[in-house]
């Protein structure tokens, strides 16, 4: 019923939001006599803010048209490689007319980025994708809004998520022989499970897996997100946050965790920060600070665009990851596409190198939660395991923004390069060496762990796996003239 009430309210507000946008444009137009009246600019700012608070935010696009590779503009074509009921595998294909650049692009390693299915769209990783495109062939999982998936397309469980990831890995491997996997936040757990199952079966596993800010062991440094899951019983989530999609959507009748409820939770974590941000936006509109205005709009166009998650997937994630801790206790059984159930055994991974990344100020996945993977993946040689803690970085800072580009990405790029076959490595090194950024600022060399944490963000070999102790259980396509890579 709550979903229907929300949709009714949203439909009621939509014309008023559009009217406010029209009024804002009218009052801010200097060529209009009305716009030259006293208080016009302040009224225009108020209408603009009302419009943005009341409008419906659609799924954003990645919008990556080109990237700079060693001073050469490389065109980007976004295309769907695999289409599944609940996810699409996107590829960002690169095109260039420059033979030398094209040769370098073809030798670069392929990377599968597994985006989170936790409320926002995969476009939240736009900066991650754009940065990595300069040195890698990039694929990403683009999860669908569950309210747009018809009931006849079936159910979606956490096991299905894991099976999707394995299928996508095999697809990229079938093209290039192997690949590298990067998971950000929520997918670190199912990605580790997927690769563990592949290793247990004797399948070829990715060359590397980079896990960033994820709840591998949600018992460590619990955050507000973790505490909610442990203080509320499983039945509470099922009875209070699960609703059926209204009849005006393709997925009518599907049980989901609605995006608008998730958004409310996001805002409730830092209400003062969001209130101040909107007030600053209002003042910037009055002052005419175009740069700040555009920055605010870009951020909230992304932040306010949310999707519904299938109820089965969401509830199973709550129970498996945040309540029963099945991964760290070694009690997680996953059903494959053939119907067989297999135990997740991270210790079976031996040929995949691992890098974990955490932000010092992460308030979503606390300190030590991602690094806990080293205590599980004991089959990976110590020389092939590294951990990076980024000083001053929050959750979003480790995969987006200045810290991602200047601190985290050089380490990720070097880690992938260090575990890339020699044939591709020489081509990748040539691109990195010629990069103006790389020439100006080389990545920090990895150092051994010491008793005191270093003040700089340094990828460090993990000396000894941490022991796991169980606590008490709690209830357009570019023209054909361009070559491609």
What integer pLDDT is reported at residue 459 of this predicted model? 66
Q: In this structure, are 134 and 12 located in the same domain?
A: no
156 belongs to a structural domain: yes
What integer pLDDT is reported at residue 10 of this predicted model? 84
251 sits in which H/E element: none
What integer pLDDT is reported at residue 158 of this predicted model? 97
Q: How far apart are CA 380 and CA 386, in angstroms?
A: 11
Buried residues in 257-270 as b, exposed as e (16+ CB within 10 A):
bbbbbbbeebeeee
What integer pLDDT is reported at residue 429 of this predicted model? 53
Q: In this structure, are 84 and 156 located in the same domain?
A: yes
- Domain stop point among 248, 272, 303: 303
What integer pLDDT is reported at residue 395 of this predicted model? 92
**Phi, psi dihedrals of residue 177, rounded to the nearest 5°:** 95, -35
Output the tens digit of pLDDT for each of the chain's 485 residues.
Answer: 788 888 888 888 889 999 999 999 988 887 777 777 788 889 999 999 999 998 888 899 999 999 998 889 999 999 999 999 999 999 999 999 989 999 899 999 999 999 999 889 999 999 999 999 999 999 999 999 999 999 999 999 999 999 999 999 999 999 999 999 999 999 999 999 999 999 999 999 999 999 999 999 999 999 888 888 888 989 999 999 999 999 889 999 999 999 999 888 878 878 898 999 999 999 999 999 999 999 999 989 988 999 999 999 999 999 999 999 999 999 999 999 999 999 999 999 999 999 999 999 998 999 999 999 999 999 999 999 999 999 999 999 999 999 999 999 999 999 999 999 875 555 555 545 554 444 444 444 433 333 333 335 556 666 544 444 444 443 333 333 344 55
247 belongs to a structural domain: no
DSSP conformational letter for 141: E
Pairing of strands 353-359, 385-390: parallel
What integer pLDDT is reported at residue 424 of this predicted model? 55
**Distance of alpha carbon 448 from the chain centroid:** 29
What integer pLDDT is reported at residue 88 of this predicted model? 97
Q: In this structure, are 21 and 100 located in the same domain?
A: no
DSSP sequence for 149-213: S-GGG----HHHHHHHHHHHHHHHHHHHS--EEEEESTTHHHHHHHHHHHHHHT----SEEEEES
Q: In this structure, are 413 and 288 located in the same domain?
A: no
What integer pLDDT is reported at residue 82 of this predicted model? 97
437 belongs to a structural domain: yes
The β-bridge partners of 82 are 89
Q: How far apart are CA 345 and CA 200, in angstroms?
A: 7
Q: In this structure, are 144 and 39 located in the same domain?
A: no
Pairing of strands 309-310, 66-69: unpaired
What's 178's domain CATH number? 3.40.50.1820
Give the pair of three-digit tokens for residue 95. Answer: 């095109």
Let me know if 451 is exposed, middle or buried by CB neighbors in 10 A (0-12, 13-18, 19+). exposed
- Contact between 167 and 121 under an 8 Å Cβ cutoff? The reply is no
Q: In this structure, are 267 and 147 located in the same domain?
A: no
Q: Which pTM was predicted?
A: 0.85
- Contact between 237 and 315 under an 8 Å Cβ cutoff? The reply is yes
Q: How far apart are CA 228 and CA 472, in angstroms?
A: 17
360 belongs to a structural domain: yes
**What's the alpha-carbon Rg for the chain, to the nearest Å?**
23
Q: In this structure, are 73 and 48 located in the same domain?
A: no
42 belongs to a structural domain: yes
Q: In this structure, are 438 and 409 located in the same domain?
A: yes
Q: In this structure, are 183 and 134 located in the same domain?
A: yes
Question: Angle at the Cα of 419 (from 416 to 421), degrees rounded to 5?
Answer: 115
The β-bridge partners of 69 are 72
Q: In this structure, are 116 and 93 located in the same domain?
A: yes
63 belongs to a structural domain: no
What's the structural domain count of the chain? 2
**Phi, psi dihedrals of residue 228, rounded to the nearest 5°:** -60, -40
Q: How far apart are CA 407 and CA 126, in angstroms?
A: 17
Q: In this structure, are 339 and 408 located in the same domain?
A: yes
Domain hosting residue 20, numbered range:
2-56+259-303
242 belongs to a structural domain: no
Buried residues in 108-132 as b, exposed as e (16+ CB within 10 A):
bbbbbbbbbbbbbbbbbbbbbbbbb
Give the pair of three-digit tokens for residue 296. Answer: 């605010």
Residue 477's CB is within 10 A of a number of other CB atoms, namely 11
Q: In this structure, are 226 and 320 located in the same domain?
A: yes
Buried residues in 55-78 as b, exposed as e (16+ CB within 10 A):
beeeebebebebbebbebebbbbb
483 belongs to a structural domain: no
């Amino acid at each position: 019923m709550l979903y229907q009430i929300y949709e009714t309210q949203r439909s009621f507000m939509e014309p008023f939001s559009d009217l406010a946008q029209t009024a804002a444009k009218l009052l801010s137009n200097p060529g209009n006599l009305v716009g030259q009246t006293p208080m016009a600019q302040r009224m225009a700012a108020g209408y603009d803010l009302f419009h943005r608070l009341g409008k419906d935010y659609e799924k954003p696009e990645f919008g990556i048209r080109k990237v700079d590779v060693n001073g050469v503009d490389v065109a980007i074509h976004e295309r769907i490689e695999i289409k599944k009921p609940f996810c699409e595998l996107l590829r960002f294909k690169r095109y260039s007319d420059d033979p030398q650049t094209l040769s370098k692009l073809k030798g670069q390693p392929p990377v599968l980025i597994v985006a989170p299915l936790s409320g926002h769209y995969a476009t939240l990783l736009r900066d991650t994708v754009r940065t990595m495109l300069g040195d890698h062939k990039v694929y990403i999982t683009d999860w669908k809004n569950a309210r747009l998936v018809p009931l006849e397309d079936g159910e979606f469980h956490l096991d299905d998520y894991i099976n999707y990831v394995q299928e996508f890995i095999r697809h990229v491997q079938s093209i290039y022989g192997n690949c590298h996997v990067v998971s950000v936040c929520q997918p670190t757990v199912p990605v580790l499970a997927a690769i563990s199952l592949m290793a247990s079966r004797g399948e070829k596993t990715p060359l590397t897996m980079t896990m960033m800010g994820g709840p591998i062991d949600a018992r460590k440094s619990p955050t507000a997100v973790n505490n909610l899951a442990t203080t509320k019983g499983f039945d509470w989530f099922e009875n209070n946050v699960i609703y059926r999609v209204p009849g005006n959507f393709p997925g009518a009748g599907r049980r989901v965790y609605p995006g608008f409820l998730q958004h409310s939770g996001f805002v409730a974590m830092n209400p003062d920060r969001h209130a101040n941000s909107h007030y600053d936006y209002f003042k910037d509109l009055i002052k005419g600070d175009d740069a700040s205005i555009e920055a605010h709009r870009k951020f909230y166009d992304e932040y306010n665009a949310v999707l519904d998650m299938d109820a089965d997937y969401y509830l199973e994630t709550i129970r498996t990851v945040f309540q029963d801790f099945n991964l760290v206790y070694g009690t997680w059984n996953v059903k494959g596409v053939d119907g067989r159930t297999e135990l997740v055994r991270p210790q079976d991974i031996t040929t995949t190198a691992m890098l974990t990344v955490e932000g010092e100020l992460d308030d979503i996945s606390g300190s030590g939660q991602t690094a806990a993977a080293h205590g599980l993946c004991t089959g990976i040689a110590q020389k092939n395991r590294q951990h990076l803690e980024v000083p001053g970085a929050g959750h979003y800072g480790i995969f987006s923004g200045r810290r991602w580009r200047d601190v985290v990405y050089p380490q990720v790029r070097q880690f992938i390069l260090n575990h890339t076959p020699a044939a591709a490595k020489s081509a990748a090194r040539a691109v990195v060496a010629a990069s103006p950024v790389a020439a100006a600022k080389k990545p920090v060399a990895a150092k051994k762990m010491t008793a005191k944490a270093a003040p700089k963000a340094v990828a460090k070999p993990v000396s000894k796996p941490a022991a796991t102790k169980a606590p008490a259980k709690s209830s357009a396509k570019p023209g054909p003239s361009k070559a491609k890579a």
